[in-house]
Amino acid sequence: MAGGSYEIVLAPGVLRQAGEELALGRRALVVTDEGVPPEYAGQVAARCKRAVCLTVAQGEESKSFDTLQLLLKTMLDAGFTRGDCVVAVGGGVVGDLSAFAASIYMRGIDFYNIPTTLLSQVDSSIGGKTAVNFHGVKNVVGSFFQPKKVLIDPDTLRTLSPRQLHAGLAEAIKMAATRDAELFALLEESRDLEADLPEIIRRSLCIKRDVVEQDPTEKGLRKVLNFGHTLGHAIEGFHQGTLYHGECVALGMLPLCSAGAGERLKRVLEKYELPTRVEQSGEELLPYILHDKKMGAEKVTAILVDEIGSFRFAELTPAELMEYWERRI
């Protein structure tokens, strides 16, 4: 992986191998959240020489400066040195927050990620984006900082609700729609999602790795991973946490597809019980786009899908983006 290579281990049951897979013979801050079964972090902590466990509140509110300071203070109080490490056990919030803390504590200590949601397994756990939200703007303060190793255990997905699982699948659908027609076909045709998940995760990770290796700091190509996200973040802001991130991404992708690609995408989203329509007008969403991007009249890079498996970039003003929204199927 660009920006420092690291291993990604994808294997059912690998969580139980954390002691063999990770260098835990030192102080380790093990961070999880209240929504993650406590035994996952407990299994990791049991394999550390000196574990300090921290359980943060579930949800986006934990991606804050206050929680970041809590992580940093916990490490300071426990005498963490540059030779110690942070381990995230949970979803994207725990991963982004913990990685950011690891990236700035003593100018950077080792970070391991053990993502336990589908969203984090297919997307946020690799690629080195770390962040907290600030003054209502998502991910506006952060760094690029690569983990030392990522352990992905599909068995942990068994404890997710179907709604959480399907919301995570939206990120895999995003990768497939823009970069991998075969993966899209697998998602269309799958009759046993649980059995197909390891392959869906593997292919999604290959797409993400390929993109991030070419453009680690999102100067160009990596923006493709934001397909559906500009509109999605606006919908997320409007609905104030009642819709999951993946559900908002699902809604944000549809208006940016051609009629043919949109029909296929809509069918897949419906198959996995993801929403395909909310009634908000462009006028209602526009303030959230301007706020999210901290922008005025300048353009956003939109990702358009004319044919499943490929994409093109288009520079659109927020008003032009809203025209796409109003034309949604």
Binding positions for ligand GLY, rule: CB under 6 A: 123-124, 127, 129, 222, 225
CB of 218 to ligand GLY, least distance (A): 6
CB of 79 to ligand GLY, least distance (A): 33
84 vs 236 by CB, closer to ligand GLY: 236
Choosing from 20, 107, 189, 219, the catalytic residue is: 107
Looking only at the bridges linking them, the beta strands covering 110-115 and 85-90 are parallel
227 vs 272 by CB, closer to ligand GLY: 227
CB of 225 to ligand GLY, least distance (A): 4
101 vs 225 by CB, closer to ligand GLY: 225
Q: Clarify whether 174 is annotated catalytic.
A: no
Q: Clarify whether 233 is annotated catalytic.
A: yes
CB of 94 to ligand GLY, least distance (A): 15
Choosing from 47, 148, 226, 247, the catalytic residue is: 226
Phi-psi bin for 128: left (phi > 0), alpha (psi -120 to 50), beta? left
51 vs 207 by CB, closer to ligand GLY: 207
Beta strands in the chain (DSSP E): 7-10, 27-33, 50-56, 85-90, 110-115, 129-134, 137-144, 149-152, 300-304, 312-316
CB of 121 to ligand GLY, least distance (A): 12
Q: Clarify whether 63 is annotated catalytic.
A: no
| Residue in this structure with the two tokens 């973040």, named with its chain if needed | 233
Q: Clarify whether 219 is annotated catalytic.
A: no
Choosing from 148, 203, 233, 266, the catalytic residue is: 233
Question: Angle 318-326/229-239 helices, nearest 10 degrees?
Answer: 80
Angstrom distances, CA of residue 39 to CA of 21, 173, 215, 226, 317: 18, 30, 36, 33, 47
Which of 232, 178, 230 lies closest to 204 in space, CA to CA? 178
Q: Clarify whether 245 is annotated catalytic.
A: yes
Q: Clarify whether 222 is annotated catalytic.
A: yes
Choosing from 245, 264, 266, 328, the catalytic residue is: 245
Q: Which residues contact 219 (CB under 8 A, 6 or more apart)?
A: none
183 vs 225 by CB, closer to ligand GLY: 225
Q: What is the DSSP string of 156-172?
A: GGGGS-HHHHHHHHHHH
Q: Clarify whether 133 is annotated catalytic.
A: no
127 vs 154 by CB, closer to ligand GLY: 127
Choosing from 27, 47, 63, 129, the catalytic residue is: 129
Choosing from 27, 148, 174, 208, the catalytic residue is: 208
Enumerate the β-bridge partners of residue 45.
none
In angstroms, the CA 276 to CA 193 distance is 20
Choosing from 166, 174, 179, 222, the catalytic residue is: 222
Give the CB-nearest residue to ligand GLY: 225
CB of 292 to ligand GLY, least distance (A): 15
Q: Which residues contact 180 (CB under 8 A, 6 or more apart)?
A: 203, 207, 309
CB of 39 to ligand GLY, least distance (A): 28
Q: Are 157 and 130 in contact (CB under 8 A)?
A: no
For 5, the token pair is 């290579």
29 vs 289 by CB, closer to ligand GLY: 289
> What positions carry a catalytic annotation?
107, 129, 171, 208, 218, 222, 226, 229, 233, 245
